[in-house]
Structures are given as structure tokens and as C-alpha cells.
């Protein structure tokens, strides 16, 4: 027969207290957390309506080169300042372009400054993703080539070739049409 190690006839069950009191109005006010401001223009040159606290954020909704940038209020040598930390909306460019095809060939030249403000490393042709469509009453087949950027890369050149199905045969496109262009920027790829 085994030895008895513990013997007790009483069992006590404990429960939570009948009243729980939480006091929320006691103690000093703490520093508020990070706040996000939205405004028109560079926050270093305009009033945002409140005194910013370190790590506050600001989004510029002013159309122009800094549109859609997020800034953070940080401490730097010389004092606190707003710095750009993120571009919220990626660089996108869209345009309806009247394009004249001669014997199936056309070219569109777009200043890069119309697409993106270049900072840091210069862009190469493989940084541009080009999507397009040709508005035409006949079925068309086409292709686009983006040659290497020349010189300082001030213009993006788009070389098109296109054919249309007219009647019962395919023939080179030879007229003025509207080209719908959509360009976005990708980084990190280098031209071969």
C-alpha cells in the first residue's frame, strides 16, 4: 500500500474581487505621441498650425516636385528640422500624345524632368517602365523600344513600330493617332 503524502478535507476556491476600480485622471500629462500633419508645401517654410515635437510626421499635398513626400521632424546639428523620409506615391507619368506614324515608325520624346525629379544617381533607360496603347479604329499590333539615354539623360526617347489590320491584310500604320502613355519609375536596375 502506498504512503499518503498529503491529506486535506477542505478545498478553497478563490475568485476575482467584486469591484475593479481604474483611475484615469491621476498623474501628470505625458508627452503626446507622434502626430501626422498634412499641408501644402515644405513644412520647413510654412506654418503647420502647431509646434511640432520630435518624430512628428508631415505629408506634403501641394502639387509639384515634392508632392506626396512624407517628412519627419528630427534633431540635427544646428537645430530641429523636417527631413524627407519617404515618397508616398510612386513617380507616375501619364499622357495622351498625338503621334504621327510614317511607314509604321514613330518616335515620342519626353523630357525626363516632366516625369521625375532626379536626385542622387542618374537614371538609365531601364529605370523607366513604359505602358502604352494606340487608339485606332482598326486592330493594331505594336512595339516600343527605349534606347539608352544620351548625354546627361535629359530626354526619354520612345521608338514605336506599328501595323494595322485594314480590310483583309496587315499594313504599316501610316497616319496620326493618339497614344496613351503611362510611365513609372523603378530603381536599382542598371543598363547593360
Q: Are residues 102 and 174 in the same domain?
A: yes
Q: Are residues 47 and 101 in the same domain?
A: no
Task: Report if residue 36 sits inside a domain.
Answer: yes
Q: According to the model, what pLDDT value does residue 10 have?
A: 74
How far is the CA of 107 from the CAs of 41, 92, 100, 176, in angstroms? Answer: 36, 20, 8, 12
How far is the CA of 33 from the CAs of 20, 54, 83, 92, in angstroms? Answer: 28, 10, 19, 33
Q: According to the model, what pLDDT value does residue 189 have?
A: 45
Q: According to the model, what pLDDT value does residue 11 have?
A: 67
Of 6, 181, 177, 48, nearest to 102 by C-alpha is 177
Q: Which domain holds residue 156?
A: 92-185
Of 155, 148, 159, nearest to 118 by C-alpha is 155
Q: Are residues 54 and 113 in the same domain?
A: no
Q: Are residues 181 and 96 in the same domain?
A: yes
CB of 162 within 8 A of CB of 139? no
Q: According to the model, what pLDDT value does residue 124 have?
A: 85
Q: Are residues 98 and 49 in the same domain?
A: no
Geometric angle at alpha carbon 115, from 114 and 120, rounded to 5°: 110
| Residue that finishes a domain, picked among 67, 89, 111 | 89
| Residue that finishes a domain, picked among 73, 89, 105 | 89
| Residue that finishes a domain, picked among 69, 89, 109 | 89
Mean pLDDT by 10 residues, the chain (192 residues): 68 77 74 83 89 90 75 92 83 88 96 75 84 95 92 85 94 96 74 44
Q: Are residues 25 and 106 in the same domain?
A: no
Q: Are residues 6 and 32 in the same domain?
A: yes
Q: According to the model, what pLDDT value does residue 187 have?
A: 65
Q: Are residues 102 and 80 in the same domain?
A: no
How many structural domains comprise the chain? 2
Task: Report if residue 192 sits inside a domain.
Answer: no
How many Å apart are CA 180 and CA 160, to the nearest integer? 13
Task: Report if residue 140 sits inside a domain.
Answer: yes
Amino acid at each position: 500500500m502506498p504512503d499518503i503524502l498529503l491529506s486535506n478535507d477542505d478545498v478553497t476556491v478563490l475568485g476575482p474581487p467584486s469591484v475593479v476600480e481604474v483611475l484615469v485622471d491621476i498623474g501628470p500629462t505625458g508627452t503626446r505621441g507622434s502626430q501626422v500633419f498634412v499641408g501644402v508645401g515644405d513644412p520647413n517654410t510654412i506654418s503647420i498650425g502647431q509646434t511640432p515635437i520630435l518624430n512628428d510626421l508631415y505629408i506634403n499635398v501641394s502639387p509639384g516636385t515634392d508632392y506626396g513626400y512624407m517628412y519627419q521632424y528630427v534633431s540635427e546639428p544646428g537645430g530641429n528640422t523636417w527631413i524627407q523620409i519617404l515618397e508616398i506615391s510612386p513617380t507616375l507619368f501619364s499622357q495622351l500624345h498625338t503621334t504621327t506614324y510614317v511607314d509604321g515608325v514613330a518616335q515620342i520624346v519626353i523630357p525626363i524632368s516632366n516625369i521625375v525629379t532626379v536626385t542622387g544617381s542618374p537614371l538609365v533607360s531601364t529605370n523607366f517602365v513604359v505602358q502604352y496603347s494606340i487608339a485606332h479604329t482598326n486592330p493594331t499590333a505594336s512595339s516600343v523600344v527605349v534606347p539608352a539615354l544620351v548625354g546627361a539623360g535629359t530626354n526619354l526617347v520612345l521608338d514605336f513600330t506599328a501595323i494595322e489590320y485594314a480590310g483583309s491584310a496587315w499594313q504599316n500604320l501610316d497616319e496620326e493617332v493618339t497614344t496613351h502613355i503611362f510611365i513609372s519609375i523603378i530603381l536599382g536596375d542598371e543598363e547593360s
